[in-house]
Amino acid sequence: MADLTAFTSADHPVRKWRKVKDKIIESILFLAALSSVFVTIGIIYILVSESLPFFQHVSFKEFVTEKEWTPMFSEAKFGILPLVVGTFMATLIALTVAIPLGTITAAYLSEYVKPNVREMLKPILEMLAAVPSVVYGYFALLFVTPILQKFLPELGGFSVLSAGIVMGIMIIPYISSLSEDAMRSVPTHLREASAALGSSKFQTTFRVVFPSAFSGISSAYILGISRALGETMVVAIAAGMQPNLSLNPLEPASTITAYIVQVSLGDLPHGSIGFQSIYVAGLTLLIMTLIFNVLGMWIKVRFQEKE
Partner 1 sequence: MEQIYKAPPECQTKFTFGSGRDFLRAKVSDLSFRYNPEDRRVLNKVSLPVFDKKITALIGPSGCGKTTLLRCFNRMHDLYNATSYEGDIVLYPEGKNILSSEIDPMEVRMRIGMVFQKPNPFPKTIYENVAYGLKVRGIKKKSFIDEKIEKSLVQAGLWSEVKDRLQAQATALSGGQQQRLCIARALATDPQILLLDEPTSALDPISTAHIEELIVEIKDDVTIVIVTHNLHQAARCADYTSFMYMGDLIEYGPSEQIFTKPQDKRTENYITGRFG
Q: ∠ CA 242-244-246 to the nearest 5 degrees? A: 145
Count of residues in contact with partner 1, rule CB under 8 A: 21
DSSP helix/strand/coil, 270: coil
Is 251 within 8 Å of 159 (Cβ atoms)? Answer: yes
Among 16, 23, 207, 302, indicate the residue that binds partner 1 (CB under 8 A): 207
Q: Give me the 100-119 binding string for partner 1, x by CB under 8 A, dash otherwise.
A: --------------x-----
Is residue 199 near partner 1 by the rule CB under 8 A?
A: yes
Does residue number 200 form part of the binding site for partner 1 (CB under 8 A)? yes
3-state secondary structure of 132: coil
x/- string (CB under 8 A) for partner 1, residues 179-198? --------x-xxxxxxxxxx
Distance CA 243, CA 254 (A): 5
| Nearer Cβ to partner 1 (154/305) | 305
- Letters for 141-180 (x = contact with partner 1 by CB under 8 A, - = none) are ----------------------------------------
Alpha helices in the chain (DSSP H): 13-57, 60-65, 81-107, 115-130, 133-139, 145-151, 160-184, 188-196, 201-203, 210-212, 214-230, 233-238, 256-262, 273-306
Residue 72 or 120: which CB sits closer to partner 1? 120
Binding segment (CB under 8 A) for partner 1, from list 60-68, 201-209, 249-257, 267-275:
201-209
Query: CA-based angle 151:156:243, to the nearest 5?
Result: 130
How far apart are CB 113 and partner 1 at their closest, in Å? Answer: 12
Cβ-contact 233, 135 below 8 angstroms: no
- Binding footprint of partner 1 on the chain (CB under 8 A): 114, 187, 189-200, 203, 207-208, 211-212, 306-307
